Amino acid sequence: MKALPFLLLCALPLCAADPIELKLWPDGAPGQMLPHSKGTEDFIRTKSGKNTLTDIHDPTITVYRPENPNGTSVVVAPGGGFVFLSAVHEGTQVCEWLNSIGVTGILLKYRTPTRDETAPHEKPVADAAKAIALVREHAQEWNLDPKRVGLLGFSAGGNLLAHIACDRATKTELPNFGIMIYGGGFVDSKDPTKLKEGFTVPADAPPMFLACAHDDGQNPTAATVLYLEYKKLNIPCELHLFTKGGHGFGMRDNKQPINAWPQRCAEWIGAMGWLPKQP
């Protein structure tokens, strides 16, 4: 796994202490990783950048603690097509923003690449569930509320979130709330107004915040379909579709309407009662 420069890991004015990194599977992650296919090699060569991570076989979490923590934490799952992780604008910078509103940001470095597997999301979902369990295990030590642990996913990380929150083949560790930014991949390819066969939203799905740009392929349709399923079940859900913004912006300010998503998300987190004021 490539290391990121320390200055990219933490905005010093916002962090109360140095980040803590923990392995998810100290005895080794379950299952075997497939060797790269030519398609995966081409994807890495043409789409990865200097701030992306790949070949993650030993997944970790890195805990970024704010100066004035409010007890809420959010596990952050970057995107990257289940091939690599966009670890800065969809990772460390997101943790910095969470710190700015008093939330403990926890960067999840899940296993990649899994693109060539029959179900590319399975190992990342297992890593996310393990991360949530680990946060709850350390909740007292890190001054966190084990009942206020969220999961925020971008793109492939959003697909991961959809699967762990909704499409659960077995009982797993659930987040208390989810934040999906331009996620997709869970609707029928022939009729994107419907969920794909076998994907369902259960009655105990966690509350969800959804944000996407109108000009982002089928992802705004996927977000809308997911919102409507939530509405049928009367599960709290908030949907924001912005006129422009495309895909993959993360925390970048590209001067598009979508750049307002962090403010809208912070308002939602507060409205749901997960931003209590500290004495």
Bridge partner residues of 77 (DSSP)? 153
Place of tokens 């202490």: 17
The domain that holds 183 is classified in CATH as 3.40.50.1820
Pull the structure tokens for residue 250.
């993360």
Residue 137 lies inside a defined structural domain of this protein: yes
Please state the separation of Cα 21 from the chain's center in Å: 17
Residue 9 lies inside a defined structural domain of this protein: no
Residues 248-261 pLDDT 10s: 999 999 889 999 99
Residue 6 lies inside a defined structural domain of this protein: no
Of 2-11, 43-52, 196-205, 266-275, least confident by mean pLDDT is 2-11
CA distances from 201 to 16, 83, 101, 165, 273 (A): 38, 26, 30, 8, 23
- φ, ψ of residue 168 in degrees (nearest 5): -105, 105
- pLDDT value of residue 169: 63
Residue 101 lies inside a defined structural domain of this protein: yes
Q: pLDDT averaged over the chain?
A: 91
- pLDDT value of residue 276: 85
Going by DSSP bridges, is the β-strand pair 177-181/85-86 parallel, antiparallel, or unpaired?
Answer: unpaired
* Domains: count for the chain: 1
* CB-based contacts of 52, cutoff 8 Å, min separation 6: 80, 84, 85, 86, 87
Residue 243 lies inside a defined structural domain of this protein: yes
CA distance 90 to 153: 9
User: pLDDT at residue 10 above 70?
Assistant: no
Which among 175, 28, 31 has a CA at the least distance from the CA of 114? Answer: 31
Other beta carbons within 10 Å of 183: 27
Containing H/E element for 178? strand 177-181
Pull the structure tokens for residue 258.
């979508």
pLDDT tier at 4, thresholds 50, 70, 90: very low
User: pLDDT at residue 37 above 70?
Assistant: yes
Residue 39 lies inside a defined structural domain of this protein: yes
Task: Name the residue range of residue 70's domain.
Answer: 14-271
Radius of gyration of the chain (CA): 17
- pLDDT value of residue 278: 58
pTM score, whole prediction: 0.92
> Computed from CA positions of residues 11, 157, 232, 73, in that sequence, does the dihedral angle turn out positive or negative?
negative
Residue 279 lies inside a defined structural domain of this protein: no
Contact, 11 vs 99, CB < 8 A? yes
Going by DSSP bridges, is the β-strand pair 104-109/73-77 parallel, antiparallel, or unpaired?
Answer: parallel
CA distances from 160 to 197, 233, 275 (A): 17, 21, 25
Of 9-13, 22-26, 157-161, least confident by mean pLDDT is 9-13
Residue 57 lies inside a defined structural domain of this protein: yes
- pLDDT value of residue 126: 95
